[in-house]
Amino acid sequence: MSPAYTKPGPAFDLTGTSPTTPTYKLNSGHEMPVVAYGTYRSAPGEVGPAVIEALKAGYRHLDLAHVYRNEKEIGGALKQAFDEGIVKREDLFITGKLWNSDHDIEIVPQACDHSLKNLQIDHFDLYVIHFPVCWKHTGLDTPGYGASELGDTSLIDTWHAMEALVDAGKTRSIGVSNYPLVLMHDLTTQAKIQPACNQIEVNAYYQRESLVNYCLSRGICVTAHTPLGGGATNSESWGTVNPLLEPLIKEIADACGKSPAQVLLRWLLQRGICILPKSVKPHRMAQNIDLFDFSIPDDGMDKITTLERYHSFKSNPNPLESFLGGKDAYSAEGTDIFD
């Protein structure tokens, strides 16, 4: 009988008290800060100032996406930050995402260039496939969302086009987002350049142990989006459960002298998972990166593990409803690409 899988420890050092965020050395050889500032659900006029505040709070990893429709405003904020000497470009790790309607081989480099132009930068540090689904192209200025139709380009062909971006110097590393285990394995067996990262929904209520361990066992970084379960926003919008209100989390937070959000984020880091929290409130931004002067004891880590509900909050944004109104909507709710 083969020995049971043994999970490695975190691939980054959480023991120090350095004011700088620890980094994860990707399989591409590049260092990525383990805490990223997320820009999803940031309204026009809000995201630019929020990015400036995040940089002032110490964030050096920015997570962006074309479909969030805020790249130009973020580009203006980056220019301001560079001009005012808040940071230099080389201080930052910038992640971008290829949207579903830009998967065609000839469109991939155009989509990357379009985003770089919007952001006023000349390369990404990491560029990822946002979802494992190809839609028909709808134009670079109009990323498809609504009445979406499935396209004809295979995921591996899109990946090979992503590999060409590395060769062209448009991005230093490439990865994926929202890929389940079976598609990750399919990709790793065919890729010329291995994915550096899989950015997935992971939190205390949706722990995804098999997928996380698969990625880590192959040197693929796991970054958690929705690390707080979507918080109050998802609860208010869809009535989902909120791990921030979990009594056990509050108990551990009180014992550690930290907030429930900090405990949930630190729990992920101690599992070897990078994190992508998001807030536009400066005090929350500061809290979400203030994670390196405490640790959750082993018994606390084990207790949080018992909270598993295997419940997806389906955000970031989930393509499910985007099929509504089109010929490829296969249920009354849309099309769940993870069925």
- Where in the sequence numbering do the catalytic residues fall? 68
Q: For residue 195, give both structure tokens.
A: 């994915």
Closest by Cα among 193, 144, 201 to 168: 193
Beta carbons within 8 Å of 197's beta carbon, 6+ residues apart: 26, 32, 126, 128, 173, 175, 176, 220, 221, 222, 223, 274
256, containing H or E segment: helix 247-256
Q: For residue 54, give both structure tokens.
A: 């995040």
First to last CA, the chain: 33
Residue count of the chain: 339
Buried b (16+ CB within 10 A) or exposed e, 255-286: ebebbbbbbbbbbbbbbbbbbbbbbbeeebbb
Place of tokens 């990893």: 61
